[in-house]
Chain A
């Protein structure tokens, strides 16, 4: 097992150029054409704004490594963000709000995993269905309105600092460390590589690929719950379209980061650089006052180019 995992890990040196070059090119481009891009205030803004995406893109990496996909993540984040807002508003407790978000997120993740692993529904259709369900539930619990007046304890999470570092960045770093440890230094991580690379091997080793797959999707849902807390804190409200399209940015970050859609190979640091690339792209386009619609279109082009290159590499 261990050997199989080592073999299926990509050689990091081969991958660093791709996504790192994209990131460096984007930074160079916007330093040249966007006034104020290189200021400390703006760069720390990029980092803070990338934290929510980091929370989604890391579990998305694991899901894509299992040759899966989760289109429902943005809609689930919207729903968990509303749950955080509603529960914390009712109980005045940030922790209860977070608990509610985690619970709802994990429930959706388990539902996704169940549909995909047990019923065998293709991931993109199963999660498209749950996307609709989460979107519908968001509209139902909020009645299409924003939830405002959430307690300070929630709002402060986004603006507070720990040892001079903004709390969202601390949370993102801790999440990254946890995922890195999980994927590269635990048995569970090894099994994730096997889920994408060689599912039969897991069965022969006496493990249940279905349970593992459900666990991976549940992890994605739970992370959407934590990201929902950050989203509510950032917007200082719960909004029924808050997470619209975020799953796409997450898929973009994973694709740009060099995780393959076809071979069960994943690289977490690449995803992190991918998240920063998407963040820099959006921030830079914003600074040269292009509307968010152009940002959305650019991320779309970024994904298609990244997938094309991925396809070329896998055929090479």
Chain B
């Protein structure tokens, strides 16, 4: 009991805390998976494959990092995948129409952020439970995207724009640099700023947070808007890497993003978790899927495995929390 109340009053501040130990375990798990895969498959340790894993993990991480903040407040955003699809299609259209990648990137980010803001309004002002509000949003966005694209595919973007997703800098894929940047920003924001700490406090105990003067509704709006904007960022990376946009690109993105957050040790019940943990979670999930790919397991197995991983991750989280109590 003491652990819980301590958490509620003093959210995890330092990196060398319970969080650090949890992250350490997960790093060990990732290394273990790497070792197993290195034994099972000759091509796993090739430079090309390792860069591929990092690039893939960074895509999952962009979506999952924003989602982490939402889950820290004990909420959930099920609309992120559909948001990526809509933002990518709109950004792609803008680039085609105007020829300006910068304008397209801004539109994609704005579209994602706007969707996130709408989610936030539904959760705060309309007081709809977050999982059902964002689930409704998922289908609204799906409908809009399919209607807007009408079965068309956008492709062929300027070479400079395509560098964002598929280019290299000093031998590393550009998304990996973006990953490091956003990992740094996310960790700093969550651990070292007042707003970040308030987000932990809201998740740990919303009533106490409100009573201690935290503007809960405004922070929640911010969190959902950030989650949407990160989905918008992911849509830009997708667009530039695939060099095409279709209405269905978001369908297989939500479950892996949620899986990455949960594997990373962020608790569904709010208040516990780190952005760095989510990065490790994205890495572990990508390693598992990459390993299945290398061992020539059909891609049809991926949703099944991801589903099992989601359930296992929540179950492990609940088990460790119960033991802590």
Residues of A within 8 A of B (CB): 69, 71, 115, 119-122, 124-126, 128-137, 139-140, 143-144, 245, 248, 251, 261, 291-301, 303-304, 307-308, 311, 315
Contact = CB atoms under 8 A, between A and B. Distances in A.
9 residue pairs, one from A and one from B, having the closest CB atoms: A136-B304, A132-B307, A297-B143, A293-B146, A300-B140, A296-B143, A139-B300, A136-B303, A300-B139
26 contacts: A122-B314, A124-B131, A124-B132, A125-B310, A126-B314, A128-B258, A132-B255, A132-B306, A132-B310, A133-B304, A133-B308, A136-B300, A136-B304, A136-B305, A136-B306, A261-B132, A293-B247, A296-B139, A296-B140, A296-B142, A296-B143, A299-B139, A300-B139, A301-B140, A304-B137, A311-B128
Interface string B126-157: 11110111011111101111110010000000
B132 A307 contact: yes
A119 to B, nearest CB: 6
Given A251-B132, A297-B147, A307-B128, 8 more contacts: A120-B318, A121-B315, A129-B308, A132-B303, A143-B298, A245-B139, A303-B139, A307-B136
Nearest to B322: A120
Nearest to A299: B139
Bin chain B's interface residue count.
Answer: 35 or more
B280 interface: no
Contacts of B132: 69, 124, 251, 261, 303, 307
Contacts of B311: 115, 121, 125-126, 129-130
Contact of B147 (A120, A143, A248, A294): A294
Contacts of B131: 69, 124
A311 B315 contact: no
Nearest to B308: A133
Given A291-B146, A293-B146, A296-B143, A304 B302 contact: no
A311 B133 CA distance: 12
A96 B316 CA distance: 39
Contacts of B247: 293
A125 B139 contact: no
A237 to B, nearest CB: 18
Contacts of B147: 291, 293-294, 297
A140 B143 contact: no
Most chain-B Cβ atoms within 10 A of its Cβ — which of A119, A129, A135, A139? A129
A291 B150 contact: yes
Interface in B276-325: 298, 300-308, 310-311, 314-315, 318
B128 A296 contact: no
Contacts of B122: 304, 308
Given A69-B132, A140-B304, A297-B144, A248 B139 contact: yes
A296 B255 contact: no
Given A120-B318, A137-B304, A307 B139 contact: no
B307 A130 contact: yes
Given A119-B315, A307-B128, A307-B136, A295 B143 contact: yes
B76 interface: yes
Contacts of A301: 136, 140
Contacts of B144: 293, 297
Nearest to A307: B128
A76 to B, nearest CB: 12
Contacts of A139: 300-301, 303
A261 B145 CA distance: 28
Contacts of B142: 245, 293, 296-297
A126 to B, nearest CB: 6
B268 interface: yes
Contacts of A308: 122, 126, 128
B301 to A, nearest CB: 6
Nearest to A136: B304
Interface string B165-203: 000000000000000000000000000000000000000
A300 B128 contact: no
Contact of B255 (A128, A134, A144, A248): A128
A200 to B, nearest CB: 20
B298 A140 contact: yes
Contact of A304 (B133, B146, B262): B133
Nearest to B128: A307
A316 B106 CA distance: 42
Contacts of A135: 303-304, 307
Contacts of B308: 129, 132-133
A124 B76 contact: yes
Contacts of A303: 132, 136, 139
A140 B300 contact: yes
A136 B143 contact: no
Contacts of A315: 127
A133 B146 contact: no
B212 to A, nearest CB: 24
A293 B135 contact: no
